[in-house]
């Protein structure tokens, strides 16, 4: 029998513990495929965040480190500066990257640090049980905003790509989604560009990915995909916010 679809060599054999319909598994696969396709698996050092994807250090089949909550970009900086030949990717959720780790994110971008940030935006704190995230939409319910996010009391969400686009530093900023096959293909292309930028010493790339959290959102997986298309991507528009490669041409 001919194998036509299998687990990419960029993933370990460990069974992933994500909920049904969760977007992490899709993004893990895309990253793992690229580690192989770009022949960087043996140069890669991945960073697992604190959050649902904390176990990413078991899932990616490359050197991995698990730092304190939000500090991925700082740890990536330390490794990259110490070992410039390594390819660094910091895989982070919205709480990790846009709340507790905002300073590390912004300053790594400002330094145009030659690293790749993979930012899973699912608008909720998944691991801790569905609390308000820095990216929870206005009016959206969470366990700490049961009436819906009240912008008077809880402020507005953070649009990370737009925020970082205000800096001169970053080389590549893009927002994608994994709610449809078409968007998944686009996401992979963006991730590929981000890794290639690092391989070519271009500097800081951030790929923000709108990702489903059916459990946290109280939806079925199908509803969750639909919600990204109809609601979430309206608030967080998809597309490139910075691509200096295009300006260089």
Q: Which residues bind another protein (CB under 8 A)?
A: 41-45, 48, 54, 57-58, 61-68, 71, 74-83, 85-87, 103-104, 106-107
In terms of CB distance, is 56 or 232 closer to another protein? 56
Nearest-CA neighbor of 66 among 84, 85, 81, 79? 79
Q: Min. distance of Cβ 164 from another protein in angstroms?
A: 14
Q: Min. distance of Cβ 152 from another protein in angstroms?
A: 30
174, 239 contact by CB (below 8 A): yes
Q: Min. distance of Cβ 172 from another protein in angstroms?
A: 21
In terms of CB distance, is 64 or 232 closer to another protein? 64
Residue 243's DSSP bridge partners are 172
Q: How far apart are CA 194 and CA 104, in angstroms?
A: 19
Q: Is the four-CA dihedral 13, 18, 23, 24 of positive or negative sign?
A: negative
Q: Min. distance of Cβ 78 from another protein in angstroms?
A: 2
In terms of CB distance, is 102 or 154 closer to another protein? 102
Sheet strands (E) in 39-110: 44-47, 63-65, 87-93
In terms of CB distance, is 112 or 154 closer to another protein? 112
In terms of CB distance, is 103 or 185 closer to another protein? 103
27, 120 contact by CB (below 8 A): yes
Q: Min. distance of Cβ 32 from another protein in angstroms?
A: 13
DSSP secondary structure letter of residue 154 = H
């Amino acid at each position: 029998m001919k194998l036509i679809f299998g687990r990419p060599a960029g993933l370990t054999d460990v069974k992933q513990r994500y909920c049904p319909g969760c977007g992490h598994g899709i993004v893990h696969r895309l990253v793992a495929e690229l580690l192989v396709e770009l022949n960087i698996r043996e140069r890669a050092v991945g960073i697992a965040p604190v959050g649902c994807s904390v176990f990413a250090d078991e899932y990616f089949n490359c050197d991995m480190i698990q730092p304190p909550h939000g500090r991925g970009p700082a740890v990536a900086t330390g490794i990259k500066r110490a070992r410039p030949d390594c390819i660094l990717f910091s895989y982070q959720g919205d709480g990790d990257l846009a709340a507790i780790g905002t300073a590390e994110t912004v300053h790594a971008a400002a330094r145009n640090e030659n690293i790749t940030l993979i930012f899973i935006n699912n608008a909720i704190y998944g691991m801790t049980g569905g609390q308000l995230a820095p990216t929870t939409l206005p009016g959206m319910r969470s366990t700490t905003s049961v009436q819906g996010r009240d912008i008077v009391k809880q402020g507005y969400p953070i649009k990370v790509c737009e925020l970082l686009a205000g800096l001169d530093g970053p080389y590549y900023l893009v927002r994608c989604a994994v709610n449809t096959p078409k968007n998944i293909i686009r996401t992979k292309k963006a991730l590929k560009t981000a890794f290639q930028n690092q391989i070519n010493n271009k500097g800081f790339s951030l790929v923000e990915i709108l990702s489903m959290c059916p459990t946290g959102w109280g939806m079925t997986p199908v509803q969750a995909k639909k919600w990204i298309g109809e609601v979430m991507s309206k608030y967080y528009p998809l597309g490139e916010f910075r691509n200096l490669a295009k300006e260089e041409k």
